Structure 1
Amino acid sequence: MMKQTEWGMLPDGKKVSLYTIKCNGTTLTASNYGCIITSLIVPDRHGNEGNIVLGYDSFEEYCKDDAYLGAAIGRYANRIGGAAFLLNGMGYHLTANEGKNTLHGGEGFHKRLWEVDTDEHSIIFRRISPDGEDGFPGNLTVSVEYAIQADGGLAITYEAETTRDTVLCLTNHSYFNLNGGGNIADHQLRIAAEHYTPVDKSNIPTGEILSVDGTEFDFRTLRPIGVYPFDHNFVLNKTQGIMVELYAPKSGRRIALTTDMPGMQLYTGCCLTPRKGRDGEQYGSGMSVCLETQHFPDSPNKPRFPSPLLRAGERFQSHTVFVFDVVEN
């Protein structure tokens, strides 16, 4: 089943819509405004359907949102230090929107209107980011596909091409709560990562790659997330099939995540200021967790990190898959 409904209108008169696909036990709703996933409904261990992502009730609230709830992030997810980088001997100065740094691309993709194609099990969003948008080089043709798989899982596919050499890092910024609400301190997490990238006081990586052994960053076995304020990149071990596992004992819901990206930003909403969310629920820190698969933060300025370079004429493609199931008592 696929359904399109009008949702709002931009100041220039362009209409904004919601697109809902329901199949194989999963219901996904997303908008052509920012490719925002507004709703993701899956059953719990008792078969009761519930929304597992944070969101708002109205389009107007998403327009004012400063936390990227459910949005596609680009051109560069996470942070670039000093809002600048050097490429092919040329310096590029970006939109600084977090102090002196660039966060999530500056003005970014999350407030843009995208073109849409749909079928019974997928939604594909497309746009052209013009040369110089937020300071990044090249006309970038980019697409983001949300597809529900045969097992009910959500597959996100990113594709892009550029007319000039550029840097690129795309992700989705959904805030997960597998109980559908309340605190997530009881959620259990496993990350297939032996290393993480420490950050300075402005959350820019120092350039080091350190072991998680003996630290609060050791999620190599399933354990409660707890209350530590995570906003850190983990170096994923791609030799393991399932790279991330998130489980909520209360509801029984579980996410098993796989990706071809080298890193994942674990963010527990520690900077999410109090606000009214969906159905009047009060949102804040410790109520959700983001699992942002991506290149490492500030990679354009860290030669030791995997390169986010996309050359002119080359095609970028990346896949992240969220498989949903339940654990019985």
Structure 2
Amino acid sequence: MARAPLLLLLAAACLLSFAGAGANAAGRKMVGVYELSKGDFSVKVTNWGATVTSVVFPDSKGNLGDVVLGYDTIAEYVNGSAYFGALVGRVANRVANARFVLDGKVYHLYANDGKNALHGGHRGFSKVIWTVKEYVSGGDTPHITLYYHSFEGEQGFPGALDVYVTYELSSPYVLSVRMNATALDKATPVNLAQHTYWNLGGQGSGDVLGNTIQLFASRYTPVDSTLIPTGQVAPVAGTPYDLRAPTAVGAHIHQVSGGSSNGSTIYGYDMNYVVDGDEHALRKVAAVRDGASGRGLELWADQPGVQFYTGNFLKDIHGKGGKVYEEYGALCLETQGFPDAVNHPGFPSQIVRPGQGAYKHDMVFKFSF
């Protein structure tokens, strides 16, 4: 994945400062880290990229652990290229050839993944400062609401867009993520995704190949060698992508290609699944369990797809607390519209038009131990 220009990153790093957990944060444009806590369950979020930097809850023996990959400093998030914990957009995942046609006009995006656009371009929503609109650190429903105004032409996308995301804790051990976006003056594609890397054994504890994964998806969208969907929607039955029953993450991982690096095939999952059921209804998407720690994660969401990614490109990344992250060191479950939907009329539309309703995307993570 391409890195943003160094001068931009250095300039952004100069802006960074920290806000205390009890600060009155409404309307702030500085960069801070904000903690939400409810008993022994806590989540930290930064308004750099609307990023989840930690999720802490007990294991089966009562030991607290942080289960998301990330960095110790905000400057490392600014310079990082793995999208740890970020809110990605305006359009998550890939857009083929970094172009699309909408209402008869051709739009050219910033190509940052070979010839394709990935996660909104080199400076998508994960690489900007969001405004903290509301912050309640504790109580019955600790939450933080972040806002970003995406301007006309940002990374090549048409029209201005107002975007909000709320992270909220509820009992017991539930994290809700609510996203919405309103097109202000032009039709535009919108597809937001939450890009947290999960390791239920604890961040930096090793690979997740022994975790069991269950995806409530009977179909998937096959891709070409550059991970762009072919346009086909195929059944998972009889393929290594069939994860409808609880299956070890590593059981078939060397039978699936997750892209290439320097001409060599990278094995692992990096695939969009078509979630069963009503694509607009909140429904169960996935369940993950780590046998060693006893921790579990159940994901519910209201999007048509979910990208299952197994950290195939992680390599020698120095993360939190001196941990080093390697291949398969975490998994991502990114609920979303289908990748490259703007170039596939047969996929569910991701076009948002002024005055015709906002884009909405809800996720619920239910943790257990």
Q: TM-score range by the shorter chain?
A: over 0.9
Distance 2:60 2:50 in 1: 29
1:81 equivalent in structure 2: 96
Contact 1:77–1:103 (CA under 8 A) maintained in structure 2: yes
Matching residue of 2:223 = 199
In the alignment, which of 31, 36, 40 is matched to residue 21 of structure 1? Answer: 36
How many aligned residue pairs are there? 319
Letter in 1 for 2:197: Y
2:166 aligns with 145
Structure-1 residue corresponding to 2:69: 54
Unaligned runs of 5+ in 2: 1-10, 17-28, 255-267
CA distance in 1, matches of 2:155, 2:309: 24
1:281 corresponds to 2:298:
no
Quote the Cα distance in structure 2 between the aligned partners of 1:321 and 1:55. Answer: 21
Aligned counterpart, 2:193: 171
Query: What per-residue deviation string (whole Å, max 9, x for no partner) do you get for residues 85-131 of structure 1?
Result: 11111111111101110000002011100111211310111010001
> Quick one: which amino acid aligns to residue 11 of structure 1?
C
For residues 220-268 of structure 1, what are the alpha-carbon distances to aligned partners after superposition, in whole Å with 9 as ceiling and x for unaligned? 0001000440000000002694220011001111111110000000000
1:256-282 Cα shifts (integer Å, max 9, x gaps): 111000000000011223211111111
Aligned residue in 1 for 2:269: 230
The answer to whether the 8 Å contact 1:80/1:103 transfers is: yes
TM-score (norm 2): 0.84
Match in the other structure for 1:134:
155
Contact 2:314 2:329 in 1 (8 A): no
| 3-state DSSP of counterpart to 2:115 | coil
**Would the aligned equivalents of 1:10 and 1:16 in 2 still touch at CA under 8 Å?**
no
Cα offset, 1:63, TM superposition: 1.5
Q: CA RMSD in A?
A: 1.6
Matches within 5 A, 1:30-41: 30-41=45-56
Distance 1:287 1:222, change over 3 A: same
Verify: 1:246 aligned to 2:268, yes or no.
no
Q: Is the 8 A contact 2:98 2:109 kept in 1?
A: yes
Aligned equivalents of 1:305, 1:101: Cα separation in 2: 18
Report the Cα distance in structure 2 between the residues aligned to 1:89 and 1:26, rounded to whole angstroms. Answer: 50
- CA–CA distance in 1 between the matches of 2:189 and 2:88? 14
Q: Out of 89, 99, 107, which is 2:114 matched to?
A: 99
| Cα separation, 2, equivalents of 1:293 and 1:184 | 20
Contact kept, 8 Å, 2:283 with 2:301, in 1: the verdict is: no
Percentage of matched positions with identical amino acids: 39
State the Cα deviation string for residues 14-59 of structure 1 (Å, max 9, x = none). Answer: 7321000101542000101111111110111111110000011112
Q: Please, what TM-score do these two structures have when normalized by structure 1?
A: 0.94
- 8 Å CA contact retained: 2:301, 2:335: yes
User: For residues 64 and 185 of structure 1, what CA distance do their matches in structure 2 show?
Assistant: 28
Aligned equivalent of 1:320: 363
Q: Which runs of 5+ in 1 are unaligned?
A: 1-7
Distance 1:321 1:47 in 2: 23
Q: Note if contact 2:189-2:350 (Cα within 8 Å) is conserved in structure 1.
A: yes
Does residue 340 of structure 2 align to residue 298 of structure 1?
yes
Give the match for residue 79 of structure 2.
64
